[in-house]
Amino acid sequence: MSANPGQSDLRNAVQMAMDAYRAGQADQAAGIYNSILAQSPNHPAALRGLAMIVLDKGDALGAAQLAHRATQSAPNRVPPHITLARACRMMGWQEEAAAAYKRALELTPNDPGELHLALAQAQLDARQSAEALETYSTLAKLNPGDTTAHAGRALALQRLGRAEEALDLLRMALKVVSYQGIAASVALITAFVRIAPAGGAEDEAIKVVERLCLESRLPQPEMAEFALKGVAAIHERRGEIDKAWALIERANRETYKPWPADQHAQRITEKLQAYSPDRVCGLATTSFDTELPVFVVGMPRSGTTLIEQIIHAHPQAHGCGELSDIWWHTAHLQSVFDDRSFGPTFVDQLTPEALEISAQAYLQRLQSHAPDAKRLIDKLPGNYLNLGLIWQMFPRARVIHAVRDPLDTCFSVHALAFPGEFHYRRNQEALAEYFAQYRRLMEGWAHMFEGRLLEVRYEDLVHEQEDQSRKIIDFLGLAWDDTCLQFWQSGRTVLTASEGQVTQPMYTSSVGRAKRFEAHLAPLIAGLRP
């Protein structure tokens, strides 16, 4: 490229980069895009093209930053808005994703439905239920045969408290698509099962899943898993344990893929080496002395949502839900320092300046949830893997570690459908190994959080609600407030699998849950033995 490139030179360079990218030569394309940006820092096509490459490499935060710059430079171009939305959606920033998709749709008046679907899904995940219902309804008019549109409309109606209307919609849609075969109905069946308990239609849900199970192979198995395990929960509530287990087992068997246990164990070893007691005093940290962020961590299904809901009920605290931001800051720092490991070589490169940039950006987003709160709760259970970086970013942060009986925890993980792959949860031996590595890492973090890490046992919390709730609030440095004992009355929408448990008063029926299934859990029980 010439020293003073003209528009023609820039267009030719962009085309060369696009051709290289399409040919699978991402590094070459990135080099060209960076050369363009060195000459023209706000070139929208180069920013967007580089964002796509960065996104492909797993750095969604870096991609979002580049795509945002592209939208600022060329606000009326559609591709940068779509790339920004994709990056935000990957990070769980659903409100930002919805806004970006909405702008892209405004610029695409003749959209055949793809942008409508993407926008509706982002709106639903952003708890914008009324807006999602409107968008799904428009999509259903554009594409009357799109079962995803009808399923989405039903889920939005349920969120708005209109479960019976949602079920009627699904009944009609299931009749219309019945001639296409059961495979065309999986999205509708899954939505029906999710909504059935609220609409008193559990027997119908069982029947539609029985038809699904007649197939020799589950169609769309990752989606069908939600339907099978939803009906398994109905059978369990009715005491029909063998029927429940048959559905759980089939769903797991048909969706499981080998899980790299050795690779995961090595990752844990690297973290323990990076933050060993003899190294932590020499690691970089930020100068932030804020006590604002509180991290609730642990295994999934260990009581993290219940703890968050109790804290959220306090007038000076706010639960922000399961934020994936720390993960994406980690991925971005790995990209910046060109080190994809989690061990000493990566951690030793982290400078106070780089950590402060990440910490400031994290705090800014966290405070956007509730600017006046004194404690903001990040309740992503998997952040137990990130406590080293969290300690470097926020040395005074408090951590609450939720623990539960290992067998109850692991069975609950095994029996529930989660979005995403997480294949370890579908196999009993793999799940036991994952739990062992989790426990190993949590023991290894202890020396870094003396006095700032509280362990809360689920069984103690449900049996001693007030004593344990007071302990939690005191740990956070807040004065006690009786509203914490009526946590289910907050009116807050919970989008995790624990929604049913934390929107009603405390109960103890989940304690010892796995005992009813012990006859089926021999590999898991053996794997959990010390």
Residue type present at position 301: R
Whether the per-residue pLDDT at 40 is higher than 80: the answer is yes
Helices (H), 290-369: 304-312, 325-336, 344-347, 352-369
Residue 148 has which token pair?
């995803």
Q: Among 271, 283, 276, which Cα is nearest to 351's?
A: 283
Q: 420 pLDDT exceeds 80?
A: no
In this prediction, residue 450 carries a pLDDT of: 85
- Alpha-carbon gap, residue 127 to 463, rounded angstroms: 32
Let me know: does 342 contact 271? Beta carbons within 8 Å: yes
Look up residue 452 and give its amino acid. R
Q: Percent of the chain having pLDDT more than 70?
A: 96
Q: Cα 314 from chain centroid?
A: 25
The mean pLDDT value for 16-25 works out to: 95
The tokens for 109 are 């008046």
Q: What is the three-class DSSP state of 509?
A: coil
CB hemisphere CA count around 61 (13 angstroms): 18
- Is the per-residue pLDDT at 479 higher than 70? yes
pLDDT of the residue at 6:
61
Per-residue pLDDT, 168: 97
Q: For 265-317, what is each residue's pLDDT tens digit?
A: 999 999 999 999 999 999 999 999 999 999 999 999 999 999 999 999 999 99
| Average pLDDT value for residue range 39-61 | 95
Residue 396 pLDDT greater than 60, yes or no: yes
Q: Token pair for residue 354?
A: 């780089």
pLDDT interval class at 500 (50, 70, 90): low
> Quick one: CATH architecture of 263-528?
3-Layer(aba) Sandwich (3.40)
pLDDT at 490: 64
pLDDT for 94 equals 95
- Nearest residue to 336 via CA among 58, 46, 32: 58
Q: What is the pLDDT of residue 156?
A: 97
**pLDDT mean over 399-408:** 97
The span from the CA of 201 to the CA of 526, in Å, is: 38
Which of the four pLDDT bands, split at 50, 70 and 90, describes residue 99? very high
User: Taking 60 as the threshold, does the pLDDT of residue 3 lie above it?
Assistant: no
CA-wise closest residue to 472 among 323, 314, 315: 314
Out of 95-99, 165-169, 211-215, pick the least confident.
211-215
Helix (H) or strand (E) holding 468: helix 465-475
Distance CA 143, CA 137 (A): 10
Give the CATH superfamily of 1-111. Tetratricopeptide repeat domain (1.25.40.10)
Task: Give me the pLDDT at residue 497, please.
Answer: 52
Query: What's the per-residue H, E or C state across 167-220?
Result: HHHHHHHHHHHHHHCHHHHHHHHHHHHHHHHHHCCHHHHHHHHHHHHCCCCCCC
From CA 305, how far away is CA 267, in angstroms rounded? Answer: 27
User: What is the residue type of 432?
Assistant: A
Segment 343-353 shows an average pLDDT of: 95
**Weakest mean pLDDT among 158-162, 218-222, 446-450:** 446-450
For the residues 425-439, what does the mean pLDDT come to? 97
DSSP 55-94: HHTT-HHHHHHHHHHHHHH-TT-HHHHHHHHHHHHHHT-H
In the chain, where are the structural domains located? 1-111, 144-255, 263-528
Neighbours of 511 (CB within 10 A): 14
| Neighbour tally for 107: CB within 10 Å | 16
- Is-same-fold flag (1-111; 263-528)? no
Q: Tell me which of 3-7, 238-242, 306-310, 362-366 is least confident.
A: 3-7
For the purposes of burial, counting CB atoms within 10 Å of the CB of 482, is it exposed (0-12), middle (13-18) or buried (19 or more)? exposed
Lowest mean pLDDT among 103-117, 242-256, 359-373, 408-422: 408-422
Looking at the predicted structure, is the pLDDT value of residue 501 above 60? no
The reported pLDDT for the residue numbered 507 is: 73
Quick check: 71 and 40 in contact, CB under 8 A?
no
Query: Structure tokens of 383?
Result: 């952040």
C-alpha to C-alpha distance for 414 and 223, rounded to whole angstroms: 16
pLDDT value of position 491? 60
Instruction: Report whether pLDDT(514) > 90.
Output: yes
Q: What residues are paired with 377 via a beta bridge?
A: 294, 319
Predicted local distance difference test score (pLDDT) of residue 4: 52
Instruction: Judge whether residue 163 has pLDDT over 70.
Output: yes
**What is the assigned CATH class of domain 144-255?**
mainly alpha
Q: How confident is the model over 80-88, as a mean pLDDT?
A: 98
